[in-house]
Structure 1
């Protein structure tokens, strides 16, 4: 992965419609963004489609990127993640008539109702996470989904460990309140 300064430079060039810079940006960030999207969607075909849409948004929105508000990778991840969450929400609203595969039950699934409830809970959870600031979204996902230590998070966000712990605690309180668990 390129340094944040290199990514900022590439995004500035992409804002000027530099295709070579876009290709370098894509090559440097594709794996990271694809991993984020795939973890949310759990389907490679959908993840590839969403990733393509995310890069179109990055291409079209590069001029709006502000390095004073977030790091380049945080900005790009939030675009990809938000698009993936939109797809999850849309798919959860699809009727059985529109999606015949909804009638298919996996052979290893003992309780389809439990799977549906888990999908609904995951959709609610992702919706609540998406309400957090982009940096806090990334913090929560790195901590609880990717298993990063508090020290790794402190290094990533250039903040003391105790500050990271406070951010996590506040973010979790916000998520709990959003879910109606507070």
Structure 2
């Protein structure tokens, strides 16, 4: 089976929908089409092949388990999957370094561009707005689980109870993490705006 282009959002959406219905063959096609590009993103962040491979595996487990939460009206398939890879890679860096702050400058523009339309040309990918860069920086400063809760609630439009159920944590914890994370993001973005 020849993998389709990872730049064909319609095909990726179809495979994600089939994966949500637990179609292993469609998931394999999704993996074959997207794993080289997603591995490249992970490798650029981690700079270690073994770690990037581990993150890619964790990411595809997460993609398989979360495929039913993907909402095509919110993001392109590659954008959604790249965000999962990015978050897993940031978590791996934090575990490896024991450092809760990641310098956003270590992420070149092509990694940040992964959060945009995968069909963008290289020139378009380099033109990420300063607001997007500031938000990416501020999101990278959040703890891994808190960043995941924010992502699920706001990027995937899940309710607090749905987030709590998917993450197997109390709803009160979800609400507290969202409130605190939003306060931290607001403070961080205000600081970034003054720069």
Distance 1:62 1:140, change over 3 A: closer
Q: Within 5 Å, which residues of 2 pair with 1:5-44?
A: 5-44=10-49
**Structure 1 length as normaliser, TM-score?**
0.61
Match of 2:132 in 1: 171
Distance 1:172 1:14, change over 3 A: closer
Cα distance, 1:89 vs. partner?
Answer: 1.0
Distance 1:34 1:90 in 2: 19
- Is 1:59 the counterpart of 2:64 in the alignment? yes
Cα distance, 1:141 vs. partner?
Answer: 7.8
- Is 1:138 the counterpart of 2:126 in the alignment? no
Q: Structure 2 unaligned segments of length 5 or more: list them.
A: 139-187
**Structure 2 length as normaliser, TM-score?**
0.57
CA contact under 8 A between 2:82 and 2:114: conserved in structure 1? no
CA contact under 8 A between 1:12 and 1:63: conserved in structure 2? yes
From 122, 141, 148, give the equivalent of 2:122: 148
Deviation string for 1:137-178 (max 9, x for gaps)?
733888xxxx931xx34xxxxxxxxxx95x613334554966
CA contact under 8 A between 2:79 and 2:115: conserved in structure 1? no
Aligned length: 131
Q: Structure 1 unaligned segments of length 5 or more: list them.
A: 95-119, 130-136, 154-163
Deviation string for 1:10-65 (max 9, x for gaps)?
00000000000011000000101000000001000111111000000000000000
CA contact under 8 A between 2:82 and 2:115: conserved in structure 1? no
- Structure of larger gyration radius: 1
From 92, 97, 104, give the equivalent of 1:125: 104
Cα RMSD, aligned residues only: 3.3
Q: Within 5 Å, which residues of 2 pair with 1:84-103?
A: 84-93=89-98
Cα distance, 1:90 vs. partner?
Answer: 1.3
